[in-house]
Amino acid sequence: MTTSKIQQTIAHIRELQLHMLEAQRFRGYSGAARAISGTVALIVALVLGSPDFPARPSSHLIGWGIAVLLAAAFNYGAVLHWFLYDEEVGRDPRRLSPTLEVMPALFVGGIFTICLVRAEAYDFLFGTWMCLFGIANLASRRVLPKWVWPLGWFYIACGTMCLLIPTPFMSPWTMGFVFFAGELAGGIILSSDRPRLRRASPLARPAAAPEPASARDNEN
Domain boundaries, the chain: 26-204
- Transcribe 149-172 into DSSP letters: HHHHHHHHHHHHHHHHTTPPTT--
Does residue 65 surpass a pLDDT of 90? yes
pLDDT of 13: 55
Comparing 20 with 144, the larger pLDDT belongs to 144
Mean pLDDT in residue range 105-134: 96
Q: Is the dihedral of CA 164, 137, 185, 172 positive or negative?
A: negative
Per residue in 146-162, pLDDT (tens digit) is 899 999 999 999 999 99
